[in-house]
Amino acid sequence: MRSSELDYELPPELIAQRPTDRRDESRLLVFDRATGAMRHRSFTDLPDEATGYLVVVNDTRVVPARLRLRRATGGEVEVLLLEPLGNGLWEALARPSRRLRAGDRLDARSRLSQATTVELVEVLGEGRWHVRVEGEPEGELPLPPYIHERPDDPERYQTVYADDPGSAAAPTAGLHFTHELLSRLDHERVTLHVGLDTFRPLATETVEEHVIHGERYRIAADAWRRIAAAERVLAVGTTTTRVLETLARGAPLEGRTELFITPGFAFRRVDALLTNFHLPRTTLLALVMAFAGMEQTRAIYDAAIAERYRFYSFGDAMLVL
């Protein structure tokens, strides 16, 4: 599959810059794979659409991992912590990477980045580094680069059920839920800590050439027993989908997944998918096409653009049944 098949044109004004006043005020585009029918609903209608499904959410929590730092020479450096490796060591993205060297020590340049010192330990390529952080990272929430204004309440970039810190980005399909709406759904939790591939576009000519970076996951044994035995499962988000399909292939209840879901993939446990509208040329859009169908996904996105849905992290949602 050519990466160009994941392209589409989006009017810039449809990129949501802020969340809705209430989480569940978002719109919901529902697509029925059996009939090809689409309907336009509100997210508050999800319990009606999800009747008979066990709903599975990802309870990861975004860490304040964007650190604004300075080199000893005064040059500004931005470090995005991706994953803790133990003993203060992290995998991170750093920029401008070409000017950095192993052994450089970076200090906080503002009150928003309270980590005392970050030491660059080893360059990994593609802007990735192993770094050592002194103290607990207390930077900014790492909002995506297409969002140009920070929300008044940082919790709006966390799900209401966020519990386990460890993600570099929010599992955005879950941002629409309120506690009240979630209480109306039969649901279970998994944890997948969102890493680099959530916001890294495909840079290869074909999708198959792309190398996906592993992400940490875990699930309680009782939760997996319920999910495995459920008649129908609705996965909230691409991250939840990857965990469930990893486990359905016999993986342990805790580990790392490098599962790369592309068109032609055989889904074994996910029967319905709730997700936001994703950027072009991303692994997330490839997963949606694998589940809904390539031409069907293009039709969904065309309809969403025509109906002026809001796109990306703070945007509206789609449900594929």
* Integer angstrom CA distances of residue 115 from 35, 131, 182, 187: 54, 12, 36, 37
The superfamily in CATH containing domain 66-134 is: QueA-like (2.40.10.240)
pLDDT of residue 84: 87
8 A C-beta contact, residue 319 and residue 30: yes
Domain locations along the chain: 3-62+144-320, 66-134
pLDDT of residue 109: 61
pLDDT of residue 115: 52
Which residues, given as ranges, of the chain have pLDDT below 70?
Answer: 109-116, 197-199
pTM for this entry: 0.92
Same fold flag, 3-62+144-320 and 66-134: no
Kindly report each contact of residues 98-104 with a partner whose C-beta sits within 8 Å and lies 24 or more positions away, as own/partner. Answer: 99/71, 99/75, 100/71, 100/129, 104/71, 104/72
Measured at the CA of 275, the angle between CA 84 and CA 128, to 5 degrees, comes to 30
Whole-number Å distance between alpha carbons of 58 and 64 = 18
CATH topology of domain 3-62+144-320: QueA-like (3.40.1780)
How are beta strands 60-62 and 254-257 bridged, if at all? unpaired
pLDDT of residue 245: 98
